[in-house]
Structure 1
Amino acid sequence: MNVIISTEKSKLDIDFIHQFLTTAYWAKGRTKQEVITSIEHCLTFGVYINDNQIGFARVLTDYTVFGYLMDVFIAENHRGKGYSKKLIEAIMEHPDLQKVNRWMLATSDAHGLYKQFGFDALSNPDMIMAKWI
């Protein structure tokens, strides 16, 4: 199957994205409007087979220094076929992100995937702070 990865926001299936995210451990309960707002303010990546969306990711970035990889997923019935690896590869190779030299993400279950692209646990976690509301 030929997989297409696109940053064209008009192609995104908002209902598909919202349906997945609202049940994901990291986005449980996120409203459709919150999904729309988050998409508007990020560089987005849709994953498609035959024009049907099967995956998604977004990067919150200033395009110069920092990129935060978020909401990465492949629909369950399409997992195990290398699509998530192709998605992360497309993100890391995107021309607009080549100056970004500080990347972050949060995951509880995909460490192996991200390690293939140079992500690792924080070497100095005492330097990182967070505010949760």
Structure 2
Amino acid sequence: MTAYEFSADPQRLDGDWIHSTLQQHSYWAQDRSRAVQDAANAGSRCFGMYDTATGRQVAFARLVTDGATFGWLADVIVDPDHRGRGLGKILVEGIVAEIDRLGLKRTLLVTNDAHTLYGRHDWAPVAAPENTLVRWRPDARPA
């Protein structure tokens, strides 16, 4: 059985793997360039899961935060070949520990399909969505 390790060390991140995995296996970042992904990673606290035998990265997430009051969890993804082994749970647990350590009052995320995973860690639908606004760049507005 494969063993895995959680890490918040930015030196361990595999930029090629992150970009190609998000492009090929996400529904939200398929058109994101490598330069944009690298910039997003550089401006975030990034986390990974690694196969301990090979050192290969097999999961990724990033937390966009001011480090004191607010965070946005984004780009959470597990390599399809390693899904179903609880890696998403371990990854989110490690991130929640970081959120709690920082004392962030509010952390948001958007998901189409992982409400149960995040609900275990107290994420819930926005209580007053009419108070939450978004600004889209005109050419990036969803259909």
Normalised TM-score (structure 1)? 0.95
More displaced 10-residue stretch of structure 1: 72-81 or 95-104? 95-104
Distance of aligned partners of 1:49 and 1:29 in 2 relative to their CA distance in 1, 3 Å threshold:
same
Question: Which structure 1 residue ranges, 4+ long, deviate > 6 Å from structure 2?
Answer: none
Superposed CA deviations along residues 65-105 of structure 1, whole A, max 9, x for unmatched, are 10100000111111111110000000011277431010100
Identical residues among aligned pairs (%)? 33
Tell me what 1:81 maps to. Answer: 85
Residue 49 of structure 2 aligns with which residue?
Answer: 47
2:28 counterpart SS class: coil
2:3 matched to which residue of 1? 2
| Alignment of 1:31 onto 2:33 | yes
Give the distance between the partners of 1:78 and 1:22, measured in 2 at CA: 17
Query: What do residues 45-64 of structure 1 show as CA deviations (whole Å, max 9, x unaligned)?
Result: 01101211000000000111
Instruction: Name the residue aligned to 1:11.
Output: 12
Count of residues in Structure 1 that have an aligned counterpart in Structure 2: 133
Secondary structure at 1:29 match in 2: coil
Higher radius of gyration, 1 or 2: 2
Q: Which amino acid aligns with 1:40?
A: A
Q: What is the CA–CA distance in structure 1 between the aligned matches of 2:99 and 2:69, rounded to whole Å?
A: 14
| Matching of residues 76-115 of structure 1 within 5 Å | 76-94=80-98, 97-115=101-119
